[in-house]
Amino acid sequence: MSSTGPEPVGNLGSSAETPTRRGPRRSLSRVDVVDAALAVVDEGGPAALSVRAVAARLGVRPNSLYTYVASRAALEGEVVERVLAEADLGLLTSPGRSWRERIVDFAEALRAQLLAHPAVPLLMMTAPMDGAAALAVGEGLIGSLSESGLAVDDAARATYAVIVQVIGAVALEVAETDGVPPLPSESVRIEARRAGLSMLPPEAWPMAAATVEVAARWNSSEQFRWSLGTLLDGIAARTNALPEDTS
């Protein structure tokens, strides 16, 4: 679905620098359209994404886009692919780091990328991620988890658990904001949550009251590391290899 037709590969960002175009129309390309769509959401948030807004940014009529993209839904899928294609898979094969460290490195980098394009996590929940970039992430994760000593089938299961934890956490994190970049800083968002939680009557919500400081940080990099680390602990426990037995 995302690899339909002969698409020019390797010229990402070739023409994203001029937001509003001028001068002779040199003929659009599919990457121009995706670039423009990403620029639209990065400027106006997820609600700003529309065929008409993307067309306007390209200086073209709305229906022109249908030359390059089958539908708004297909365009959304391309945006997800574009961002996933920028994921640094090299982090999953860094020498001198354990499989655990490599996965944490990759997950944190991916989280940062997704927070930089806060409309994208929601789009990931909107259609299947079956493009080449999504598959490449899966390949890298299964590979890393296999090296941990896990049987390949369990490595694949563990891969999906990690994907769910990472994308789910980022999506819920963005959901607490308006999604318009730049997002409020983590400390501001924590403070907002703390303020909300502090107003709850402790009689009604004793557990929330007892854990305000932790729950205020649910959408933080700290909690992100704790959750992922705990999941990786569980994954490691399914390994028969010794703990020292890492690359």
* Binding footprint of DNA on the chain (CB under 7 A): 25, 27-28, 49-53, 60-64, 66-68, 71-73
Asked whether 56 and 81 are in contact (CB, 8 A), the reply is no
Cβ-based nearer residue to DNA, 46 or 131: 46
At its nearest, how many Å lie between DNA and the CB of residue 231?
37
Tokens of 214: 């932790």
Of positions 21, 86, 231, 246, contacts a second copy by CB under 8 A: 231
Measured distance CA(113)–CA(155) in Å, rounded: 25
Binding mask 195-224 for a second copy (x = CB under 8 A): -x---x----xxxx-xx-xxx--x----x-
Cβ of residue 61: shortest distance to a second copy, in angstroms? 24
93, 137 contact by CB (below 8 A): no
Burial class (CB in 10 A: 0-12, 13-18, 19+), 134: buried
Tally of CB atoms within 10 A around 200 = 13
Interatomic CA distance for residues 220 and 129, integer angstroms = 25
160 lies in the binding site for a second copy (CB under 8 A): yes
Interacting partner of 98 out of a second copy, DNA, none (Cβ under 5 to 8 A depending on kind): none
Look at residue 21 and give the partner it binds from DNA, a second copy, none, a contact being a CB closer than 5 to 8 Å depending on partner kind.
Answer: none
